[in-house]
Structure 1
Amino acid sequence: MTKGALAGVRVLDLSRILAGPWAAQMLADLGAEVIKVERPGKGDDSRQFGPPFLMDREGKVTRESTFFISANRGKKSITCDISTPDGQALIRSLAAHCDVLLENYKVGDLKRYGLDYESLKLVNSRLIYCSITGFGQTGPYSPRPGYDSIFQAMGGLMSVTGNGDDVPGGGPMKTGPSLADILCGQYAASAIIAALYHRDATQGGSGEGQYIDLALLDAMIAATSHYASQYLVSGQIPIRRGTEGNGGMPSRMFRCADRDIMIVAGNNEQYARMCNVLGHPELASDPRFSEIALRVKNRRALGEVFEPLIVEWQSDELLAALDAAGVPAGPINNLEQVFADPHVQARAMCVEVAHPLTDEAVRMVANPVKMSGTPIDSYGAPPMLGQHTDDVLRDLLSMSQSDIDILREKKVL
């Protein structure tokens, strides 16, 4: 097992649900020690986000939800009631021994407990403190709570996702996965790593920590990428195009005789090769479709021409022919088909980890990052609630078992 790129970095994870835990899991995958702080008796809210839940070795339902499992592997879990003075003192002591603190409490909540950045940097000036909230620490919406679908709506993603209003079933659509949370978590992880580099760089590192303010709404707006650029540069509001792409054409879902597939002819050469595969090379020089800009302009007519040609094919035969011709195309897989795909298996995108509640390994999505010098080659199971409380307090804070027992009797742990 190789030491991870972030070996030696310790993270105190006070976050819940998805954006913060996702960022902390990324850091754990990269080798950081992540200590997850949870509420005694209940834990992270996402532990209850089910069914489905993990089944134990006796076939009984556990409290380990698949949602929680997706974002908390490789962490240590401790319980601490931060609303109590003893709990607050405990967090301050832990923060003094950590490089990073992640939290996603409502704006101002942790300041009431003396656990805000200004308070904690007094006990650890090297601390990187990352706050993730729905709307950020400033602005008129900053006090508001929110969830992923709210930010997909307000940040513009839903306005460009789904079929157009002129198509049956058209209208704004939320993406399946919680992309605002996931993307914000990725922004958080990269910002934290940059702050660590700023603090510790061999040449000119400041030695000082800093505060990171991340908003899910901001992250969602940034992730609209070229759609936002289209509006900001041209003043044109992007429309919903269903499965159609925003570049070369055709770029959309087509129905074959047996199932749907995606085809993207991203340039004129690929488009000409696609026409050849379909047995209609004359369509490459059709005056309506001979250039990318013309195909974009005449996208509706393009679909009407190619739909009846493609529906005659069996999907596997057409995909093989397009692949041989160098035209990007692929099946629309469900998740069972995704993980059965030989290429996905060759890329080791499913990993198995041992879990204390079951004899069978728990399957998880692997981290997609492939690093040559510090590969991500080891994964720990998502922790059970409070699984590591005694170990962390004893090893990191040198607390005696009797002191730990007293805190537990006082319901601090």
Structure 2
Amino acid sequence: MGALSHIRVLDLSRVLAGPWCAQNLADLGADVIKVERPGAGDDTRHWGPPFAKDEKGHETAETAYFICINRNKRSITVDISQPEGQEIIRQLAAQSDVIIENYKVGDLAKYGLDYESLKKIKSDLIYCSITGFGQNGPYAHRPGYDFIIQGMGGFMSVTGEAEDVEGASPQKSGVAIADIFTGMYASTAILAAVIHRDHTGEGQYIDMSLLDTQIAVMANVSSAYLCSGEIPRRWGNASPIIVPYQTFPTSDGWMIVASGNDSQFRHFVTAGGEPQLADDPLFLTNPDRVKHRKQLVPLLEVMTRKKTKGEWIALLEHANVPCGPINNFKEVFENEQVIARHVQINVPHPTVGTMKLVASPMRLSKTPTEVRMAPPTLGQHTTQVLQEDLHFDAQKVAKLQEKGII
């Protein structure tokens, strides 16, 4: 029994931020019903390749994108543009604790499925809307895309090679961080609302914005600007306030060195056979090294190229200098620590056979997360939910199927 096994979530969201939020709740035990469009489903069902392969090595219709954000959910297909479909959603809402949606501002009000309408059916309903820019303000009706939000929210202005490097330009993250972080914040907000409801009996509305979230997760960078008034700049893989704290080339790849104090710097250069650098007046203290980074870093790069990545990491770990490799994903999943933590899990799936997933990182001693179901096929649970949860008879379900409502 998960910590949220008493909670039902009606997930009306698509793509990433909303489904990520719902999956977090599902991993913690919530019963999540994912509502999808008949015939098409969530957009991410079509975002491939890559597709999962079955046990004979043949590609299935299951995209890697959809797989990563939809485990532990029951999928039903409902056409919410039709009155019969809207009534199904209302009946499910009456049995749900939480609704998650990421439609454009005002869209669900056209169908009577907005918060103001549904709270009349269930007064203690917790309703979470996720949009690009929030429910108010001049941009509220704009569609929100992660890439654009990374640019608007300042992330790309500090990501990418340093501005004085030839050909340098702003860069987006390799993963949709605005979406992912918004999903994480939404999960936290929903849990707070559940606790409030349990204490007071009151439901509430949650307004989540990708832009708000992107600015918030800039953390110390946003704070640095607000405190100093100075516009932060790009530093590539280097730190603006600590040297050496960056990537370095080795003879066979790249490594990370995070030398946070003078002692660690001395151990670093001593391990590399250049102990005199620690005694150079230009590099004695971290402020000295920050001031003279242009002189120091090329010297360190000459030093680090003399050994392999593996040799350096062994040396620096022995010398207590924080360091690490830059792994590709084959190396990630073959890493002994990753294997020991059971980060990759295998679950049965109706078309794939055995599906590989990444485990939830939430490790609770009393109410552990659990993968109860693989990501569902489209509409896999429609009949089950309608008959068992809403008590529709087989004839009514058949008529809804004939009309294309489900």
TM over 0.5: yes
> In the alignment, does 2:362 pair up with 1:364?
no
The code of the aligned residue for 2:289 comes to: R
Matched, 1:347 2:341: yes
Q: Which stretch shows the higher mean deviation, 158-167 or 179-188?
A: 158-167
Match among 184, 196, 199 for residue 197 of structure 2: 199
- The amino acid of 2:365's aligned partner reads S
For residues 1-400 of structure 1, the aligned pairs below 5 Å read 3-56=1-54, 59-200=57-198, 205-359=199-353, 361-400=354-393
Distance 1:183 1:353 in 2: 26
State the Cα deviation string for residues 66-112 of structure 1 (Å, max 9, x = none): 10001101100000000011111110110010010000000000011
- Match of 1:140, as an amino acid? P
**Matched residue SS, 1:71:** coil
Letter in 1 for 2:291: K
Q: For residues 176-217 of structure 1, what are the alpha-carbon distances to aligned partners after superposition, in whole Å with 9 as ceiling and x for unaligned?
A: 1111111111011111111111111xxxx1111100000111
* Deviation string, structure 1 residues 230-281 (Cα, Å, up to 9, x no partner): 1111111111111113443211110111111111001222222212212233
8 A contact 1:265–1:328 mirrored in 2: yes
Aligned length: 406
Query: What is the distance in 2 between the residues matched to 1:245 and 1:199?
Result: 44
Q: Output the amino acid matched with 1:118.
A: E
- Alpha-carbon offset, residue 404 of structure 1: 1.2
**Cα distance in 1 for residues equivalent to 2:372 and 2:279:** 53
Instruction: Please tell me the root mean square deviation across aligned C-alpha atoms, in Å.
Output: 1.3
How far did 1:129 drift? 0.3
What secondary structure is seen at the aligned counterpart in 2 of 1:352?
A: strand
Three-state SS of the structure 1 residue aligned to 2:128 is strand
Q: Matches of 2:84 and 2:375 in 1, distance apart?
A: 27
Cα distance change of structure 1 residues 379 and 242 upon mapping to structure 2, 3 Å threshold: farther
Conserved in 2, the CA contact under 8 Å of 1:270 and 1:327? yes
In 1, distance between residues paired with 2:70 and 2:240?
Answer: 35
- Structure 1 residues 311 and 375 mapped into 2: Cα distance closer, same or farther (>3 Å)? same
Q: Contact 2:163–2:235 (CA<8 Å) still a contact in 1?
A: no
CA 1:255–1:211 in structure 2 vs 1: closer, same or farther (change >3 Å)?
A: same
> In terms of mean alpha carbon deviation, does 138-147 or 373-382 score higher?
373-382
TM-score by length of 2: 0.97
Shift of residue 167, structure 1, vs aligned partner: 1.1
The SS at the match of 2:300 is helix
Which digits, 9 at most, give the CA deviation of each residue in 1:19-69, with x for residues without a partner? Answer: 000000111111111000000000000100011112345654332111000
Q: Distance in 2 between matches of 1:398 and 1:257?
A: 67
Larger displacement relative to structure 2 (44-53 or 278-287): 278-287
User: Contact conserved, 1:14 with 1:103, CA < 8 A, in 2?
Assistant: yes
Work out the CA distance in 2 between the residues paired with 1:140 and 1:297.
43
CA contact (8 A) 1:247 1:266 kept: no
Give the secondary-structure state (helix, strand or coil) at the position aligned to 2:281.
Answer: coil
